[in-house]
Each structure stands twice: as structure tokens, then as C-alpha cells.
Amino acid sequence: MPTAFFDVDETLMSAKTMLSFRTWWDTRSGGDTTWLQELLHSPSDRMEKNRAYYRRFAGVPHGLFLAAGHEWYEDHRRGPAPFVVAGLRALRRHRAAGHRIVLVSGSHRACLDPIARDLGVDDVLCTELDVDEEGVLTGEIIRPMIGEAKATAVTAVLAESGTPPELCFAYGDHSSDLPLLSMVGTPMVVGEDPVLLSHARDRGWPVLPATAGPPQGSWSLLRTG
């Protein structure tokens, strides 16, 4: 079956979900919100920043974490412009065509599961977090989902289903999505990342705008027609 793989942050959702969720979490709990900006501007590489982000959740019950994700998503979806309109239009077209839809994101299930359920997504490939035997987050990562890890995970999915990569589609907005985009028959760039735009010009890849839209306008693209 043809499969459409979607990055999430700034490809389907206008926000960076991990940052939006953590800001929402800290604001709701009355916790410190300055550490996140300090982490973003630190000289650490992207993987170490991700690990530092998740360590801040050590000791949180996994069930509470997942429930918070649903609350965050409902709040985010009610915002003025929570979706990338072109990404949602593309997802609707793939759904209408009967294609399998898979989210591929460095974010976590607390954010991604409610999005997937809401948008009618079939599968989620994401960063998986370690949970101890008492159901509490340890703060460590079992599996990251950044860069080459996205291509590796997608390769495994296609091998399991027997789907040829040339029949598949992929959508991404960031240079770290390049390994994913390069392995499918129809890659689609969303937004204006200079690395991806360069590849799009050289290889004739389509480019979609990353314009954010309001809930009602974007949501109707999925629910009507």
C-alpha cells in the first residue's frame, strides 16, 4: 500500500510540539520556564539537548504524562493558528486515496498520540521513553527519532509491509528530515529550510508553504469534501 510519511513539527503542526508541551506543562505546574530557553541556546548538539529535555520528566508517572499530552493538544488546537494548512491538505488527500499515513517525529507520544487519533493517522514512529516497572518515567530515551533514525525506522516499516519506497511520499520541513525525504519516491519540502530548498531545486522536489492556519479553517480540510 502506498504510504505517506509526515514529520510533525512545522510540517503538520505549526508549533514545535516538544517545546510547546513543556512550556504548557511548566506554566500549568507553576514551575521554572527559563531553563528551556537556556537549553535551546546552549552549545550542546541536538541529541544531547533532546536527552536533557527528557531528563526533566524523570519521576513523572507515565499515565499522567500521557494524559497531560491530551490536555495540551486540546488547548493547542483551540489556538489561533495551530496547523500547517498545506500539510493538512496533503494528509487529507492521502487519506482520501486510501494511503497509509505514518507520523515520523522526534517528539514523544504524549504529544503525538492525540494528534494521530485526531487526524486519522495509522502509525506513529517517535522518540520512545524509558518507563520503569512502576510506570514512572526514568528520564532516559529508549529510541531517538532524529535524522538518520527516521530513515532507519521507515526502512523497517516498508520492509515489514513489503511496500516499495518509490510508491511512498514523505513530508518534512527541516534539514534533519533529509534522510527521510531522500528514501521515498515523492519527497515534499514544507517551508523554507535552505538545505531542503537547495535539494528541492537540484532534484525537482515540490515545495509547500508552511503557512499556519486557524483550527476551523484547517480542520474543515480534513473533515469535509
pLDDT, one tens digit per residue, over 148-166 is: 999 999 999 999 999 999 9
Residue type, 96: A
Beta carbons within 8 Å of 47's beta carbon, 6+ residues apart: 144, 146
Q: What is the pTM of this model?
A: 0.93
Backbone phi, psi, residue 188, to 5°: -130, 120
Which cell goes with 23? 512550556
Give the per-residue pLDDT at 55: 94
The predicted-structure confidence for 100-123, as pLDDT tens digits, reads as follows 999 999 999 999 999 999 999 999
Residue type, 171: Y
Confidence tier at 22 by pLDDT (50, 70, 90): very high
In angstroms, what CA-CA distances link 161 with 3, 100, 176?
Answer: 10, 11, 25
Average pLDDT on 29-45 reads 85
